[in-house]
Amino acid sequence: MRTAPRLLLNTPDIELWPAGLLHARGSHDARLLSRARTVLRRKRDGRYLAALLPEGLMPMVERLAREPGIDEALQRLEEPLPRSGPPPETQLPLDRLNERLHRLGLDERYAARSGLPLVAEPAHLHFAGRDRYRRALWLTRTAARAWERLRAAAAADGIALDAISGYRSHDYQLGIFERKLARGLQVADILTVNAAPGYSEHHGGNALDIGTPGEPPAEESFERTPAFAWLQANAGDFGFRMSYPRDNPHGIVYEPWHWCHAAGT
Ligand SMILES: [Zn+2]
């Protein structure tokens, strides 16, 4: 018997996670998570908001009812999934994007300047195994399957590949900017290594950063590894392409580790 696919149900502010895929942050969390089926998680900072237990919803923050986006998340929690087959591949609306850009002092001209398209978030994502840090890796169904096949083919050729990062939300991307700004970096500098919120291929669930054990994550030195040579020769057969080659027109640094499945282009 096949087990049901493990899904992340996505809403604009809150993600609904299978509880078994989250790490407990302390013994209280551990007790709750061990009994929970689903956990509501705030996208901006990853905070656990509530756990769905057999007896009902257990808030994990004060004033859960005032949490932005909670109504939509609770509604999603109650929507039944299709009884057979995966749910349709729909996307969330691209609302509040300008608000995010304005918070960084950017506006719509960023899109024209960078030539990067807006990337909507999928309404749900599929579990694609664990990343290098033992976190759940989320991708679209197509990209998850392609990554599984790519990794197995590499392993058969003696090449170990691991995932550094897959799906990331708009809110999470904004958090990256806020943390770097707090460390004193300028928006213009951050934009050479991170796309503005809404414009990262990671939002669509088809892109992933690939590494190989023993190599630091997301470093140009990855291009000198046998793993990179293998990807260059073979990733295309699995529908993956390198998005940011040297001197790409988007003003993004050379990223030999960042590959996107064709479903996202
Ligand atoms: Zn990337």
pLDDT digits (tens, 9 = 90+) for 88-108: 888 998 877 777 888 888 887
CA 109–ligand 1 middle distance (angstroms): 22
CA 175–ligand 1 middle distance (angstroms): 16
CA 155–ligand 1 middle distance (angstroms): 22
Contact indicator for 51, 38 with CB cutoff of 8 Å: yes
Longest distance between any two alpha carbons in the chain, whole Å: 56
- Please tell me the predicted confidence (pLDDT) of residue 96: 75
CA 166–ligand 1 middle distance (angstroms): 8
Question: Which candidate, 78, 52, 49, 116, places its Cα nearest to that of 264?
Answer: 116
CA 254–ligand 1 middle distance (angstroms): 11
Label residue 1 by pLDDT band (50, 70, 90). Answer: very low
CA 22–ligand 1 middle distance (angstroms): 22
CA 258–ligand 1 middle distance (angstroms): 4
What does the pLDDT look like over 2-50, one tens digit per residue?
455 699 999 999 999 999 999 888 888 899 999 999 999 999 889 999 9
- Phi, psi (degrees; rounded to nearest 5) at 218: 50, 50
CA 218–ligand 1 middle distance (angstroms): 8
Place of tokens 């690939």: 210
